[in-house]
């Protein structure tokens, strides 16, 4: 809506209210989106983040290094999108973009262009860029999944009480920007389509009841950690929020879990009791994409540091497709076959038993928690590998360590 009617004078208000309802009715009747009359071109309404770089260099560089900046660029995304589009009804084809490039909500008619951008492997358009968050004016939390409303004017929304004036945009504080709800909009569930099941559980688990959330620590507290710096080039130093969105990659990983274990040797058999305490107020890992999993690995090294025993357990949500078989594509999931995700702030116990190494004076006991690389059907993995510019070196194929603990256990007295 035009910015000139943002601060109406008192006398103009009733007229505006009437105009407003006519506008709403017209919009509903025509089934068009919220912009009035001549619609701004896409690049004007959602300018490239490069346009913000000029004045917000630090923020831009952090964002550019983040996963959010790659939301429509990865090989797994391209290949999974293709698979989804091949089967989706015409009316549901924008589904993935709803979070990976949410401005589709305002420019649904440009869907073919969005798809072409993804296929180009080097999109000129951002997926989750600066305006895609900072033009969100409201989120309807009651709908499933929550739906954001953009306000496409000259005002940028943020969390500052008094942002310094500048020539590029007006600024307005919205409480939403310090609230988990902004993030939950895109981080809790896929929209329902005829392909997906009706009642799959959310990705985050019961985050609302978590200690972090109830003690006033929203998502931003951990994923946009506070620092002190310039918010815009040359502006005064003040509290700023880190925009590299650490998660699977980045520093927050060190604070994900407390890992502990004890070892008991009972003659020919030994036992390791592992305790994994999640410090995170949401599920770990998040079950989207459907192949996400955390691996708990126990390795026992005997004589000459040779691995004599190895066992792995997975924390994951395994989906069943229409044919009842396992699928890593959550968009075709009809039900959950198995769910071993670490729940918010849960402490999980794992007991491993194994043969005590023979002829060794001691053994190394090593417990490791990692994010597993992408897995799934062979043809899918081949396609991802061929599509990724770095092939097997793509980050999708990397193992990412979360925590590790090792001890040496004496087996014989000297």
Binding status of residue 152 toward ligand HEC by CB under 6 A: no
The sign of the torsion formed by the CA atoms of 357, 363, 365, 371 equals negative
H/E element, 229:
strand 226-230
Binding status of residue 388 toward ligand HEC by CB under 6 A: no
User: Closest approach of Cβ 363 to ligand HEC, in Å?
Assistant: 27
Task: Select from 309, 334, 299 the least CA-distant residue to 320.
Answer: 334
Query: What is the per-residue DSSP string for 153-184?
Result: SSEEEES-SSPPP-SS-EEEE-GGGGSHHHHH
The residues in 49-68 that bind ligand HEC, with binding defined as CB under 6 A, are 49, 51-52, 54-56, 59-60, 63, 67-68
User: Closest approach of Cβ 286 to ligand HEC, in Å?
Assistant: 4
Taking CB under 6 A as the criterion, the residue among 166, 307, 312, 404 binding ligand HEC is: 166
Return the number of the residue (366 or 384) whose C-beta is nearest ligand HEC.
Answer: 384
The residues in 336-375 that bind ligand HEC, with binding defined as CB under 6 A, are none
Record the tokens describing residue 157, joined without a space: 């929304």
Binding status of residue 74 toward ligand HEC by CB under 6 A: yes
Taking CB under 6 A as the criterion, the residue among 107, 207, 261, 319 binding ligand HEC is: 207
Binding status of residue 128 toward ligand HEC by CB under 6 A: yes
The DSSP call for residue 400 is E
Q: Give the CB-nearest residue to ligand HEC.
A: 158
Taking CB under 6 A as the criterion, the residue among 253, 277, 334, 348 binding ligand HEC is: 253
Give the angle 321-325-328 at the CA atoms, nearest 5°.
60
H/E element, 301:
strand 294-301
Site string for ligand HEC, 211-250 (x = CB under 6 A): -x----x-xxxxxx------xx--x--x-xx-x-x-xxx-
**Who contacts 350 (Cβ-Cβ below 8 Å, separation ≥6)?**
273, 274, 276, 296, 313
CB 365 within 8 A of CB 261: yes
Record the tokens describing residue 61, joined without a space: 């560089």
Return the number of the residue (300 or 333) whose C-beta is nearest ligand HEC.
Answer: 333
**Who contacts 352 (Cβ-Cβ below 8 Å, separation ≥6)?**
271, 272, 274, 298, 311
Taking CB under 6 A as the criterion, the residue among 45, 163, 259, 337 binding ligand HEC is: 163
H/E element, 58:
helix 57-64
- Radius of gyration (C-alpha) of the chain in whole angstroms: 25
User: Closest approach of Cβ 292 to ligand HEC, in Å?
Assistant: 6
Return the number of the residue (61 or 273) whose C-beta is nearest ligand HEC.
Answer: 61
Binding status of residue 202 toward ligand HEC by CB under 6 A: no
Taking CB under 6 A as the criterion, the residue among 159, 299, 362, 407 binding ligand HEC is: 159
User: Closest approach of Cβ 197 to ligand HEC, in Å?
Assistant: 14
H/E element, 298:
strand 294-301
Record the tokens describing residue 393, joined without a space: 């070196």
Binding status of residue 195 toward ligand HEC by CB under 6 A: no
The residues in 263-292 that bind ligand HEC, with binding defined as CB under 6 A, are 280-282, 284-286, 288-289, 292
CB 193 within 8 A of CB 22: no
**Who contacts 275 (Cβ-Cβ below 8 Å, separation ≥6)?**
258, 259, 260, 261, 347, 348, 349
The piece of 4-12, 15-23, 154-162, 298-306 that touches ligand HEC (CB under 6 A) is 154-162
Return the number of the residue (155 or 263) whose C-beta is nearest ligand HEC.
Answer: 155
Binding status of residue 334 toward ligand HEC by CB under 6 A: no
Binding status of residue 76 toward ligand HEC by CB under 6 A: yes
The residues in 96-125 that bind ligand HEC, with binding defined as CB under 6 A, are 96, 98-100, 102
């Amino acid at each position: 809506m035009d910015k000139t009617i943002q601060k109406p004078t008192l006398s103009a208000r009733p007229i505006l209210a009437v105009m407003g309802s006519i506008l709403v009715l017209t919009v509903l009747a025509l089934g068009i989106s919220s912009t009035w009359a001549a619609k701004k071109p896409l690049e004007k309404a959602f300018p490239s983040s490069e346009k913000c770089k000029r004045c917000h260099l630090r923020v831009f560089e952090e964002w550019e290094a983040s996963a959010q900046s790659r939301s429509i660029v990865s090989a797994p995304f391209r290949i999974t999108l293709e698979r989804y589009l091949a089967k989706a009804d015409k009316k549901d084809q924008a589904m993935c973009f709803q979070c990976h490039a949410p401005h589709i909500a305002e420019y649904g008619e440009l869907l073919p262009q969005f798809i072409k951008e993804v296929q180009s492997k080097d999109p000129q358009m951002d997926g989750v860029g600066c305006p895609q968050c900072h033009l969100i004016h409201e989120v309807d939390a009651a709908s499933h999944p929550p739906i954001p409303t953009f306000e496409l004017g000259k005002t940028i929304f943020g969390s500052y009480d008094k942002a310094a004036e500048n020539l590029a945009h007006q600024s307005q504080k919205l409480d939403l920007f310090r609230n988990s709800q902004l993030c939950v909009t895109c981080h809790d569930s896929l929209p329902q389509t005829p392909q997906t099941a009706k009642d799959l559980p959310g990705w985050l688990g019961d985050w609302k009841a978590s200690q972090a959330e109830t003690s006033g620590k929203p998502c931003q507290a951990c994923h946009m950690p506070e620092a002190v710096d310039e918010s815009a080039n040359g502006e005064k130093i003040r509290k700023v929020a880190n925009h590299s969105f650490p998660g699977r990659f980045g520093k927050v990983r060190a604070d994900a879990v407390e890992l502990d274990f004890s070892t008991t040797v009972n003659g020919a058999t030994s036992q390791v009791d592992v305790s994994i305490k999640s410090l995170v107020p949401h599920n770990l890992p998040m079950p989207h994409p459907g192949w996400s999993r955390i691996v708990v690995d126990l390795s026992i090294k005997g004589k000459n540091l040779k691995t004599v025993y190895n066992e792995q357990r997975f924390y994951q949500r395994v989906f069943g497709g229409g044919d009842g078989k396992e699928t890593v594509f959550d968009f075709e999931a009809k039900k959950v076959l198995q769910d071993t995700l670490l729940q918010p702030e849960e402490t999980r116990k794992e007991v491993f038993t194994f043969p005590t190494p023979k002829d060794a004076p001691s053994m190394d006991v090593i417990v490791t928690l990692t994010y597993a690389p992408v897995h799934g059907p062979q043809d899918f993995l081949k396609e991802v590998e061929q599509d990724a510019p770095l092939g097997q070196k793509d980050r999708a194929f990397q193992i990412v360590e979360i925590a590790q603990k090792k001890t040496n256990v004496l087996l014989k007295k000297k």
